[in-house]
Amino acid sequence: MRMTTERIESLAAEYVLGSLHGRARRRFERWMMESGRVRQEVWYWEQKLGQLSAEVPAVEPPKSTWRAIERRLWPQTADSVERAGSGLRWLWPSWSLVATAAAVVLAVLIVQQPVSAPQLSGAIVQADVSDPLWLVSESGPDRLLKLRSVAASAADTGKDYELWIVPEEGQPLSLG
C-alpha cells in the first residue's frame, strides 16, 4: 500500500468518522501502529471532527421519517406490517386501559376488606368450682389480652392471683 499524503488523510478521516469497516479498518489500525505519521493524521482528524460533535446537538428524527426510510428500503415488509397492524391498532391501548382499571378496582377492594384476626377467648376456673372466675379474650387489631372478672373475689391477704398458660403439651408458662 502506497503511503501518499492524500491517501493517509482520507483513510484517517474515514477511520475517525467510523465509515471505515471490516478488513480495511483492521489493516488501517495495523498501519497506524507502524507509522507515526498516520497516528498524527488520525489525531488531527479527531481534534478537528471532535469539535464539530460538541457544537451540534443530537436531534431525534420523527417516526414518520423512519417509516418512510423503511418503506423505501424494504417495501414488501413495510406494506405487510402496516396492513396487519392497522386492523388491531386500537386493541392494545384499549386492552391496557381495561387492565389498568381492573387493577385499580381490585386494589380498592383489597384495601377496603377488613383483616380479621383470629379471636382468642378462654376462661379461668378454679379446680373445685365449675363457674369461671375470669373471662379472657383477645382484642381485635391491638392483639391485647382482656381479662374480665365474672365471679372472682379479692385475693386473701398476702396472696395474689397469677395467670398461667397451660399448653396441651409441654410445661405450663406463667404470665404473671
The string of DSSP codes covering 102-163 is HHHHHHHHHHHSPPPPPP-EEEEE-TT-SSEEEEEEE-TTT--EEEEESS--PPPTT-----
- Mean pLDDT, residues 126-155 taken together: 69
Q: Within a domain: residue 108? A: no
pLDDT digits (tens, 9 = 90+) for 130-139: 666 667 777 7
Is residue 138 in some structural domain?
yes
In this predicted structure, the answer to whether residue 170 has a pLDDT above a threshold of 60 is yes
C-alpha angle with apex 14: 12 to 20, nearest 5 degrees?
Answer: 110
Query: Treating both helix axes as pointing N-terminal to C-terminal, what angle do 5-17 and 36-55 enclose, rounded to 10 degrees?
Result: 40
What residues make up the domain containing 37? Answer: 5-55
Specify which residues 101 forms β-bridges with: none
Structural domains counted in the chain: 3
Whether residues 69 and 51 fall in one domain: no
More confident call, 13 vs 130: 13
Instruction: State mean pLDDT over 66-73.
Output: 86
Residue range 72-89: average pLDDT? 67
